[in-house]
Structure 1
Amino acid sequence: MIFRRIAQIFENWIDPLAGDAPARPPEKLWAFLWYFLKQARWPFFAMLIVGGGVAVMETASFWFMGVLVDFLDDTPRAEGWQGLIAVHGGALLAMAVAMIVVRVGLTTLQMLIEEQTIVPGFNNLVRWQSYRYVARQSLDFFQNDFAGRIVTKVTAAGQAIGDLMSSLLQVVWFMAIYAISTMALVGRLDWRLAALIAAWIVIFAALARYFVPRIRENARELAEANSVMSGRMVDSFSNISTLKLFGSDEGNDRYMRGGFERLIATVQRFTRFITGVRASLSLLSGVMITLIAALSVHLWFSSDISSGDVAFTLGLALRLSMLLGRLMMQLNGIMRAIGTIQNSAELISKPITLIDKPDAARLVVEEPSIRFENVGFSYGGEKGVIDDLTLEVAAGEKVGIIGRSGAGKSTLVNLLLRFYDVEAGRILIDGKNVANVTQESLRAHIGMVTQDTGLLHRPIRDNIRFGSEDADDDALWEAVERAEADGFIADLADMKGRRGFDAFVGERGVKLSGGQRQRIAISRVMLKNAPILVLDEATSALDSEVEAAIQTNLMKLMEGKTVLAIAHRLSTIAALDRLVVMDNGKIVEQGTHQQLLDRSGLYATFWARQSGGFLPELDV
């Protein structure tokens, strides 16, 4: 109970979830490190002080050993403990207290700071702040990288920084204090002994200066190869059904083998340098221990030092060799950590390219009208995907968007949602430029159902409540009923026995059918009840019977809302107020269903070619 209370004090020293709006960390390695370390500077400063104390006590223990040997030389064996205590009792008690109380106390304090403060607190502080910043990156950022690779770099950063600081403070700093203490103590015996130890440290530093930069660069390459390998694995496992349907085990093995070959080659280059370090330091330690032992024996023969001094000096030298060996082993981990941090910093510190303006206001919509005004957009390419497009949708108007693959329909919706900024022109909602309002408030006024329904591996209740986090169960159930999803939700159960709204849906909703996923998405939008509704193939995954049932509810949902609807099945949008036909990023026709048929243009061609209201050549 007492230990638990003490541990809780250290556990509460750092709040890993503290902080306001996430800021961009610096890109440079040491600036990136300091950005996080300064938030936990006092725990690390405590580790510095306590670690130095532990190193001093380590050196003192060998001095105690030498003093004890001299005490034994001065005490006749016949007198035993009584004679030893009678002469040296005070010194023996002081040494016992130092070893049992001071040494154990410092070591315990060091472990409490590391295990109870740094590991759970600081490591997760880095992860939490990195996640919050990266999660606010643009859609383009995530579409251009492996999700697994991004996750690896975000999660690895906290662990790597924590491991690096623990290694630096518990090994490198300990080693520095131990070396200084050793030279000071043996220097009191003979300056030549101190000179040998100093030479040992200098040669070690020279070897480190040669190897460290090379190991660091290889460690960075190793971290990158590891993240790419993780990204390929996550990509394969996330799309395992596609691989099993269309790929072959051998073909996928070849793809993964390429990643493994790159990783293995990088590991081999890295370990060559580590082996070089270990061999060099082993030779150095063997030579220096031999020289120190020979000099100590020589000084004993000349009566310049006592037997206890010889034992003390050789003990320190052997311990120094062990510490340099430990440092050598830690060098691998230190360089790996630096490489991982550098690799993570390159991704985490990327500037967010799509941000709110400093004076951006929250969007308030009274009349949900939409206006695309001379809009141009090209995804950074030379050819425009949207070319000088102007379209006005009145508040409450229902408009269908139609066009061939690549016509720009989905791009138009992405620009409305401000997943990308327009390159020319502007987009207005209720007369307000979407570029001048906060992204969160903009998207709060738009409900959207897409063809590719995105569900998270969470309970069905949570997936629906994304539409309105404060909604009660009555509102939740009403939305589910309107989306015709109540029938299957009540019967759902997952592997852990959770049922109904508590059942988990699997990654991207893999445990649900396409129609079930779509009805969950429609429930979410119904619960959100936003004034602007975007339907991007909202019923494409449903069978005809369920689609007919939901279509009636969608029409009710559209009442009083401004609607943009994209559909392959032209019959599902033919009854809307207006249809807009796009081609090559421009509007080529618009009007009602009948007006467009009477013009015998592109829409009429689409209508004539469809079978059962479905047009296979169209794409969203």
Structure 2
Amino acid sequence: MNDKKKRKSPMFRWFETRIDPFAGGGDVRPPDGLWAFYWYFVRQAWPAFALLIVVGFCGALVEASLFAFVGNLVDRMREAASPETFLADNWYVLVLMALVAVLLRPVFTTLSDLIKYQIIAGNFTTRIRWQSHAYTLRQSLSFFQNDFAGRVASKVMQTAPALRESVTEAIDALWFVGVYWMAAIVLFADADVRLIAPLIGWLVFYVAALWYFVPRLKDMAVQTSEARSMLTGRIVDSYTNILTVKLFAHTEREDGYAQSAMQEHLDKMRLQFRLTTLMEMSIVTLNGALIVSMIGLSLALWSQGAVTLGAIALISGLTIRIVNMSTWVMWTVAGLFENLGTVHEGMETISEPHQVLDKPDASPIAIEKGEIVFDNVTFHYGQEKPRRRKLRAGREEEDGREADEPSWALHPGSVIENFSLRIAPGEKVGLVGRSGAGKSTLINILLRFYDLESGRILIDGRDIAAVTQDSLRAGIGLVTQDTSLLHRSVMENILYGKPEASETAAIAAARQAHAHEFIERLEDLRGRRGYAAHVGERGVKLSGGQRQRIAIARVLLKNAPILILDEATSALDSEVEAAIQESLETLMTGKTVIAIAHRLSTIAAMDRLVVVDGGRIVEQGSHAELLRKGGLYARLWARQSGGFLSKDAAE
């Protein structure tokens, strides 16, 4: 059916394929200056915009010529010898006028629409969104931790149509000023030079009104757009964390959280609408004065024999057209500045520089042995220079968040000080320590979610700062405590570990993770079953244990040479944990393993346990050796009630 539709509309298809909507993107940063930001995107489709300018100019000339025809026609009718011979004497004028009205005008109007809607509207907008999304997706982890996901998405979605509309609106407004007004000056002056005085007077007051109101509307539009983004972020935040909202019975609290943002947005909109009403009232009053003065003056001149009836018809028609167009231009210019505000506000997020970058000469790493060396590493989230900039609404932003954003947007204060550790190829190491000791921070810097302050981390002898981030993370498998699944099918989530793998291999991994049985019983709201069932946003339709087993299946399928288990079995009950322990041991075979667990019994059987406190190694050794020392590990062990403990660990 779709192919038939494409064959039936070759004209539309030709115009729709002039711009590739998915060209570019990735690591190219858009400029952070407003006009440079505009040109960065417009230059990618400049032929389409140049053609729109030419077609718009021709279309405006055709429109203006129709009014000249009308005035000329009235004069010819007045001067005709008799009505009976009028058509025979003036047929060529009427044919020419008909050709302009029936042929030229529709041609240029249709061409303008084809350029605006078929070439630019969909493709150009999609290209801006595509490139903005691709660049934003490659931002560092801290970028997303310091902002609302909904707020970022809102800016990516809003900026593209605002940029497109502001450019096309500017082109349309240009031809009103450049063609209609100049045509009116020429035609009015040709009739009687005195007729241009009211027009010039009106133009002065009209420009003054726009000069006063439009910049103020633009400022209000920026503030309204910022308030809208914040409102969207708060609402999405509540929806994303709906389980927490329900568990703590804070529905009314979330109402208040959203209501305050809605009230701020409403206050900004009211101020914007007040200015809009005052501007329209001023322009309508000016237009009324123009109509009265132009028609009154032309009638006075006609009564003196200075102008003809055709001139009055031309002046009246063109004046009404100017008045109508002036209202349109007023809204166009107001919309233009509103869109400028939206683009400016979105630009500040979209053009944010990447914090963690591959070096220009970075090369991929193919991890083979899996040796890991932390060489005198120092890192502290809080020592990063806080970003501080002035927001449009007058607020300041510190540490990557706005003053009214929640405090959890800040990084934890974990410290890694002069940390050195070598993990041999194939060695299984357990990281132990109190909460905030720096265990997860070590994982974050190993995965290069953040750059080090000093020191280096080597994998197979190569500094990870000199390799590409994607190749580094492709060689590391990670199962975390807070398992997050994509809102896609179960099969897609498992294959995320190795997209080129077969569905048979994915099912085999699910069996190993003891997930196959519950997956086969799944069914979503659309009736999709088993591996085709969708899991909901972040996997909310599944229990914590089910999400964890799918995540383990995903890492089993990935089969990376380095494996990190960060509370990998924390969401599993003892029976399920015991069932998949064998699968985890199979997964760990031949791999370098770093395991973090507060439940020490789950990592007691590791080759070596490294006890971290305050970002430093305070103890290391086997489970039995550390118990004999009677230090921090022994105290942590004594406080715990136990859990799954393998036979080897118990011995």
What does the per-residue CA deviation read over 1:523-568, in whole Å, with 9 as the maximum and x for residues that have no partner? 1101111000000011111111111111110000000000000012
Which moves more between the two structures, 466-475 or 91-100?
466-475
Shift of 1:445: 0.6
Asked whether 1:10 is paired with 2:40, we answer no
Structure 1: distance between partners of 2:171 and 2:8? 24
What amino acid is the match of 2:99?
A: V
What does the per-residue CA deviation read over 1:450-509, in whole Å, with 9 as the maximum and x for residues that have no partner? 001111111111111111111012221221111111111122221112222221111001
What amino acid is the match of 1:44?
A: F
Give the 3 Å change call, closer, same or farther, for CA 73–3 of structure 1 in structure 2: farther
TM-score of the pair, normalised by structure 2:
0.91
Q: Which residue number corresponds to residue 398 of structure 2?
A: none
Q: Which residue number corresponds to residue 376 of structure 2?
A: 374
Structure 2: distance between partners of 1:206 and 1:90? 44
Pick from 74, 79, 95 the counterpart of residue 79 of structure 2.
74
Structure 1: distance between partners of 2:201 and 2:367? 76
What amino acid is the match of 2:88?
A: A
Q: Which residue number corresponds to residue 154 of structure 2?
A: 152
Q: Which residue number corresponds to residue 344 of structure 1?
A: 346
Pick from 401, 421, 424 the counterpart of residue 431 of structure 2.
401
Shift of 1:340: 0.3
Name the SS for the 1:587 alignment partner. strand
1:190-209 to 2 correspondences below 5 Å: 190-209=192-211
1:31-430 to 2 correspondences below 5 Å: 31-75=36-80, 79=84, 83-381=85-383, 385-430=415-460
Give the 3 Å change call, closer, same or farther, for CA 3–285 of structure 1 in structure 2: farther
Shift of 1:183: 1.4
Shift of 1:170: 2.4
Could you tell me which runs of 5 or more consecutive residues in structure 2 were left unpaired when the two chains were aligned: 385-412, 646-651
Which moves more between the two structures, 558-567 or 217-226?
217-226
Name the SS for the 1:447 alignment partner. strand
What does the per-residue CA deviation read over 1:96-133, in whole Å, with 9 as the maximum and x for residues that have no partner? 01000000111111111111111111011110000011
Structure 2: distance between partners of 1:507 and 1:21? 25
CA contact (8 A) 2:567 2:596 kept: yes
What does the per-residue CA deviation read over 1:402-429, in whole Å, with 9 as the maximum and x for residues that have no partner? 1101100000000000001111211110
Which moves more between the two structures, 334-343 or 165-174?
165-174
CA contact (8 A) 1:172 1:327 kept: no
Pick from 609, 626, 631 the counterpart of residue 596 of structure 1.
626
Name the SS for the 2:382 alignment partner. coil
Name the SS for the 2:163 alignment partner. helix
What amino acid is the match of 1:576?
A: M
What amino acid is the match of 2:431?
A: I
What amino acid is the match of 2:75?
A: D
CA contact (8 A) 2:493 2:554 kept: yes
Shift of 1:78: 5.3
Structure 2: distance between partners of 1:249 and 1:475? 44
Q: Which residue number corresponds to residue 545 of structure 2?
A: 515
Shift of 1:137: 0.6
Pick from 544, 566, 569 the counterpart of residue 539 of structure 1.
569
Structure 1: distance between partners of 2:197 and 2:552? 79
Structure 1: distance between partners of 2:139 and 2:110? 42
Structure 2: distance between partners of 1:91 and 1:521? 79
CA contact (8 A) 1:148 1:234 kept: yes
What amino acid is the match of 2:475?
A: H
Name the SS for the 1:113 alignment partner. helix
Structure 2: distance between partners of 1:240 and 1:119? 36
Structure 1: distance between partners of 2:241 and 2:140? 23
CA contact (8 A) 1:175 1:323 kept: no
Shift of 1:366: 2.6
Structure 1: distance between partners of 2:306 and 2:8? 49
Name the SS for the 1:70 alignment partner. helix
Give the 3 Å change call, closer, same or farther, for CA 19–78 of structure 1 in structure 2: closer
What amino acid is the match of 1:276?
A: L
Q: Which residue number corresponds to residue 557 of structure 1?
A: 587
Structure 2: distance between partners of 1:154 and 1:341? 10
What amino acid is the match of 1:368?
A: G
Structure 2: distance between partners of 1:40 and 1:535? 48
CA contact (8 A) 1:52 1:174 kept: no
Structure 1: distance between partners of 2:526 and 2:157? 27
Q: Which residue number corresponds to residue 618 of structure 1?
A: none
What amino acid is the match of 2:167?
A: M
Shift of 1:263: 0.8
Which moves more between the two structures, 589-598 or 186-195?
186-195
Q: Which residue number corresponds to residue 493 of structure 1?
A: 523
Name the SS for the 2:9 alignment partner. helix
CA contact (8 A) 2:230 2:261 kept: yes
CA contact (8 A) 2:602 2:644 kept: no
Structure 1: distance between partners of 2:601 and 2:100? 88
Which moves more between the two structures, 60-69 or 486-495?
60-69
Structure 1: distance between partners of 2:525 and 2:189? 69
CA contact (8 A) 1:536 1:565 kept: yes
Give the 3 Å change call, closer, same or farther, for CA 336–447 of structure 1 in structure 2: same
What amino acid is the match of 2:266?
A: I
Structure 2: distance between partners of 1:77 and 1:151? 70
Name the SS for the 1:380 alignment partner. helix
Could you tell me which runs of 5 or more consecutive residues in structure 1 were left unpaired when the two chains were aligned: 616-620
Shift of 1:155: 0.8
Shift of 1:304: 2.1
Q: Which residue number corresponds to residue 400 of structure 2?
A: none
CA contact (8 A) 2:414 2:437 kept: no
Shift of 1:254: 1.4
Structure 1: distance between partners of 2:415 and 2:496? 31
What amino acid is the match of 2:470?
A: E
Which ranges of 4 or more aligned residues in structure 1 deviate by more than 4 Å?
none
Q: Which residue number corresponds to residue 455 of structure 1?
A: 485
Structure 1: distance between partners of 2:304 and 2:27? 68
Structure 2: distance between partners of 1:95 and 1:89? 10
What does the per-residue CA deviation read over 1:294-347, in whole Å, with 9 as the maximum and x for residues that have no partner? 111122112222111101101101110111111222333222211100000111
Structure 2: distance between partners of 1:368 and 1:138? 25
Structure 2: distance between partners of 1:249 and 1:535? 35
Q: Which residue number corresponds to residue 396 of structure 2?
A: none
TM-score of the pair, normalised by structure 1:
0.96
What amino acid is the match of 2:138?
A: R
CA contact (8 A) 2:125 2:161 kept: yes
Structure 2: distance between partners of 1:424 and 1:139? 20
Structure 2: distance between partners of 1:158 and 1:203? 34
Shift of 1:74: 3.2
What amino acid is the match of 1:424?
A: S
Structure 2: distance between partners of 1:390 and 1:60? 82
Which moves more between the two structures, 256-265 or 101-110?
256-265
Give the 3 Å change call, closer, same or farther, for CA 499–314 of structure 1 in structure 2: same
Give the 3 Å change call, closer, same or farther, for CA 200–22 of structure 1 in structure 2: farther
Root mean square deviation of aligned Cα: 1.7
Shift of 1:77: 6.5
Shift of 1:159: 0.8
What amino acid is the match of 1:483?
A: A
- Count how many residue pairs are aligned between Structure 1 and Structure 2: 612
